[in-house]
Structure 1
């Protein structure tokens, strides 16, 4: 039987992850993220995955999209750029059948928005930053498309292996669902 601490680590990544999950979940109940929910996105030709460091979540989403034959790129809001994917991302992505060895992080300042882009966001805090940077761009919180329907997808960087894989599988499921549900498959 798992201890409470182990359960929290496995399901939410950390105590901080649990608190953010609950906090942002309550805000979602009150409609705070309706503008970034699964919707009618017309004329989307590219998915742009965005997270903090562009070494875990967003490059994995990009890899899933590319495997599904849909154009994608990824960026980090708080990275310096040109860093490889995190070694644990490389390991677990490989176990799931994805090769991220050629990935190099890109800072969001390198992004040139296109009208046909859909920004795929991991956390509500990222959504707020992107609203300020790109107010007219279409955005979706990827967690809302996952099996758990959460608005907050905790960064797996400092989490245990169980949560790390769970996070990547959530991104994989949600990315495939996004491409399928919105008729984006080419």
Structure 2
């Protein structure tokens, strides 16, 4: 088990960085600061693809976060090589994200690449992608999964 007593740098990744990964970023940041009272953590999110770079999160994601009083302040960006040196953990939302992250990784890096759902006590491995939904129900599901996984990840570090 890793030493969780000091802050870590965590980067969440999804395909476009406007739905799942900014939700994961916001929820994780909220759990770290508000629920656990931890300091010294750096949290960010990024995309595999470049389609949405510079854009705000999906409005449905923003609305779900507002309903839960969780601040969300992010503009989409793409995963870059320097992230593998800067972050302790690079966490993907699904198996395709993990494959793409590993394919983009430099030959030598210290970042731990993991599937966020592997920390879900309810064992839902894949974080729900709500992008093509007509309503916000998928965003609510994504929020719930990210909340459970955030707690599970921190519990695994004993913080």
Alignment of 1:85-164 (within 5 A): 85-100=57-72, 102-109=73-80, 111-114=82-85, 117-134=88-105, 136=109, 137-159=111-133, 160-164=135-139
Asked if structure 2 preserves the Cα contact closer than 8 Å seen for 1:65 and 1:71, the reply is: no
SS at match of 1:48: strand
Deviation at 1:164, TM superposition (A): 2.0
Q: Give ranges in structure 2 of 5+ residues lacking alignment.
A: 34-40
> C-alpha distance in 2, partners of 1:87/1:45?
29
Does residue 39 of structure 2 align to residue 64 of structure 1? no
Q: Which runs of 4+ in 1 moved over 4 A?
A: 41-44
Rounded Cα–Cα distance in structure 1 between residues aligned with 2:114 and 2:145: 15
- Shift in Å at residue 144 of structure 1? 1.9
Distance 2:59 2:22 in 1: 13
If the length of structure 2 is used for normalisation, what is the TM-score?
0.79
Native 8 Å contact 2:28 2:146 kept in 1: no
Change in 2 beyond 3 A, CA 1:131/1:110: closer
Please give the TM-score of this superposition, normalised by the length of structure 1: 0.68
Greater radius of gyration (CA): 1
Displacement of 1:110: 7.0
Cα RMSD after superposing both structures: 2.2
- Indicate if the aligned counterparts of 2:18 and 2:56 stay in contact, CA closer than 8 A: yes
The question of 1:176 aligning with 2:151 is answered yes
Give 5+ residue unaligned stretches, structure 1: 1-39
